[in-house]
Amino acid sequence: MRKPAFRRLAISYAVNELGDWMGIVALSVLVFELTGSALATTLLFLGNFFLPALLTPLLVARIERPPPRFVLPVLYAGEAAAFGALALLVDHFSLAAVVAIAALDGTLALAARSLTRSVAAAMLEPHGELRAGNAILNVAFTGGAAVGPAIAGATVAVLGVQTALLLDAASFYAIAWILLTAGRLPRAEDEDEPAQMLRRLRAGLSYIRGHATLRRLLAAQSLAFVFFAAVLPIEVIYAKETLDAGDAGYGLLLGSWGAGMVLGSVVFAALRGAPLPLLLLFSTLGVGAGYLGMGVAPTLAVACAAAALGGTGNGVQWVSTVSAVQELTVSAMQARVISVLESLGSAMPGAGFLLGGVIATLVGPRASFLVAGAGVVVVVLLAALFLGRNWPASAVESRPGEVDAATELMVELIPAEPLPSRERRS
């Protein structure tokens, strides 16, 4: 944090997360109030999360070459413009337009997070400070996830949807200015690499395919995302009907998970010297244990304790995953590989939503938590079997030139058999 440029990056990362929550809460209220349709709200979530997962790698491959000092402000200014347009739609509502602009904003937000991570890696890794920097970014992220919904809900309740969206737009313009005046920010990619977007994207995917440990880590995290997200659609039913805790109990349950996330981010910062494989192992098990505990909890108090445990694991798991991916990736590929990770974190939860909803409908909410917890444990066992403890992170620096964007290689997507964290809960 003594580095002025990194301080600005951390602030932008936190505001991006807070802004995402402000936007999704305000838009959810708007869409449901004007349509009265759960399907319409579902379309909003698909537009805000699933479509950006498909578009972000393409965008990052296109924007990582220009200086980040200018690209990042443009991305945030684009988000500000998107929220300004959404504020105008409050008085001239169109579901199709809202979903389309929400998809655009989601894409810009994921691209900004990916580029911020790659710039931070280029800035800190040469000085051995990447783990510490990631810990700070994780505190910013989990803090936003913990307080963002509460701030958004209060703002919408007191000031209204339109004002909330306009304030959100203003915050992104402020961040754009802060980064524009930050001075030089290092770029992670090779300036001599060919500029064709599809070729660069293909090179990034080929890089993942050519590195077994990185590929397996991303595949395992993809499967974990499914189980992390399986309980999200049914938490409100679990709190209000299964535990008979009412609206206050639902809020307390969410708050317990958020508090655990903040604690987890502090734990990661305190254990900055611990091996990443061990942090990933125990933090992912913590998420699974939290879900299993919630699945059998007889009272709200026990469920909140289990949620705090799961949230603590969540707070360590995501930043450990990002750090591991960065350590396994050469500098020139940071932005593209992180964009794949971010995209997986937005796309894979869709399957989890469906899984949890179907199980809750057929069996009950408790069953969704138990299946999600058991699934997380299975993912950990598979990852331990195929990844092991000794990751060849040091080999990354020894092969900086092994990937050529011009090389003609067959490209396959990451295997589906095996990217947040219960989000990453976002």
Q: How far apart are CA 350 and CA 400, in angstroms?
A: 35
For 403, residues 6+ apart whose C-beta sits below 8 A from its C-beta are 203, 206, 207, 210, 330, 332, 333
Residue 144 CA: distances (Å) to CA of 15, 149, 249, 360 = 8, 8, 21, 29
Highest average pLDDT, of 22-26, 161-165, 302-306, 349-353, comes from 302-306
The answer to whether 79 and 19 are in contact (CB under 8 A) is: yes
Q: How much is the average pLDDT of 73-97?
A: 92
pLDDT digits (tens, 9 = 90+) for 368-409: 899 999 999 999 998 888 876 555 544 444 443 443 333 333
> From CA 132, how far away is CA 121, in angstroms rounded?
11
Structure tokens at 277: 């494989």
Q: How confident is the model at residue 201 (pLDDT cuts 50, 70, 90)?
A: low
The architecture CATH gives domain 195-426: Up-down Bundle (1.20)
Per this entry, what is the length of the chain?
Answer: 426
Confidence label for 258 from pLDDT (cuts 50, 70 and 90):
confident
Q: What pLDDT was estimated at residue 97? A: 92
| Topology of domain 1-188, CATH | Growth Hormone; Chain: A; (1.20.1250)
Q: Classify residue 378 by burial, with Cβ atoms within 10 Å: 0-12, 13-18, 19+.
A: middle
- Higher-confidence position of 184 and 70: 70
Two structure tokens written together for 249: 């109990």
Of 5-9, 17-21, 197-201, 352-356, minimum mean pLDDT range: 197-201
Nearest in space to 408 (alpha carbons), one of 196, 153, 148, 214: 196
Per residue in 272-283, pLDDT (tens digit) is: 778 888 899 999
Highest mean pLDDT pick, 38-42, 377-381, 412-416:
377-381
Find, among 194, 191, 207, 178, the residue nearest to 116 by Cα. 178
| C-beta separation of 380 from 288 below 8 A | yes
DSSP code at position 332:
G
Is residue 199 scored above 50 in pLDDT? yes
CATH 1.20.1250.20 boundaries in the chain? 1-188, 195-426
Q: At what angle do helices 246-270 and 276-296 cross, to 10 degrees?
A: 160
**pLDDT > 90? residue 61:** no
Task: At 317, list the tokens.
Answer: 């798991």
310 has a pLDDT exceeding 90: yes
Rg of the chain in Å (alpha carbons): 20
